[in-house]
Amino acid sequence: MNHLNRQHGQVLMIIFASLFLGGGIATGVFSSGKSIKSLQKTARSMTLEESRRDAVLAILDRWQEIAEPPQQSLKSHTRALLDLIGNQGSTQAQFDELLLRHRAALLEAENELLPLRDELRSTLDQQEWARLFR
Amino acid sequence: MYRVLCLAGLAAVSLLLASCVERKISAADQLEAGFAQLRSTARSVVTDPARLDTYLEHSHSLESVLRSFERDATGFVQQLRSAFTDYDTEQDRLRNLTAEFRDRQRRAQHRFVELHLAMARTVTPEEWQSLSKQEQAILAALFDSTTEALR
């Protein structure tokens, strides 16, 4: 029960930040419920031919490379957003510009990540896919 | 006296939020606690009753926007996770899901900023110094928790 409450709390926290900070395919936890590190660990422990395991790990590495910049910019955009909130003279246009910039970065990453999901799917069969994301 | 009230209010909200994070209390509970403290400070520092009423009204609306978005987003997270991890889901389905979420997100963001700016216009620069720091503390705590949760 406590475990469920913790999970629920964690999801709520993710949800709240997503109000301003995007959320979607570019944040691994948000889209699959598992971090890239955790997926890599599972992939390494799966019974796969070496070439397919290497292919899966390479896809996950690329996923991390693409998803990393928007997650890093999340920190600087958070600071910028809090600065805007702290300034009584901030305008709607300043908020819009910041939010638009962040959304564009996430969308760009998403456009690169979705084909990677297809590539991952074509590397695994249905059972292996289920084991990876279980 | 005014400065003491401001500092006490900020210290209270910071301690409250820090203890929420420490005890892994949900973001919704953090939000409720943070906004209650913010309104308590507003009652102490905003001396004009009419402006205080307006400020409190906007703060309730702001909290309500966040709560309403949380309900929307809860459904989205479940749908996205389920679709993303389903072997048979095609790319278009995921694109449609995230596009739909972004529309709701844009509306919530716009309303949030609108209310925040209305709150800013309601108070004097001196009152703002204390109140905005508390609003920043509420959001910073939520964002920090989230950044941690995403690792």
Is B1 within a domain? no
Residue B77 belongs to some domain of the structure:
yes
Tell whether A8 is within 8 A of chain B (Cβ). Answer: yes
Question: Does residue B12 form part of some domain?
Answer: no
Give alpha helix (H) positions in chain A.
2-21, 28-32, 36-45, 50-86, 92-123, 126-133
Structural domain includes residue B11: no
The C-alpha atoms of residue A71 and residue A107 are separated, in whole angstroms, by 12
Q: Is the dihedral of CA B44, B50, B55, B59 positive or negative?
A: positive
In a domain, B126, yes or no: yes
ipTM: 0.77
Report yes or no on B20 lying in a domain: no
Average pLDDT across chain B, whole number: 78
Q: Which residues of B touch A110 (CB under 8 A)?
A: 98
Total domains present in chain B:
1
Q: What is the pLDDT of residues B87-126, one digit of tens each?
A: 999 999 999 988 888 888 888 889 989 999 999 999 999 9
Q: Kindly determine whether residue A9 and residue B113, on different chains, have CB atoms separated by under 8 Å.
A: no
Contacting A residues, span 28-87, partner chain B, CB-CB under 8 Å: 28-33, 35, 71, 74-75, 78, 81-82, 85-87
| Predicted TM-score (pTM) of this structure | 0.76
Asked whether residue B62 is domain-assigned, the answer is: yes
Domain hosting residue B131, numbered range:
26-148
Is B67 in CB contact (< 8 Å) with chain A? no
Give the phi and the psi of residue B48 in degrees, each rounded to 5: -85, 120
Domain-located, residue B8: no
A49 or A64, greater pLDDT:
A49
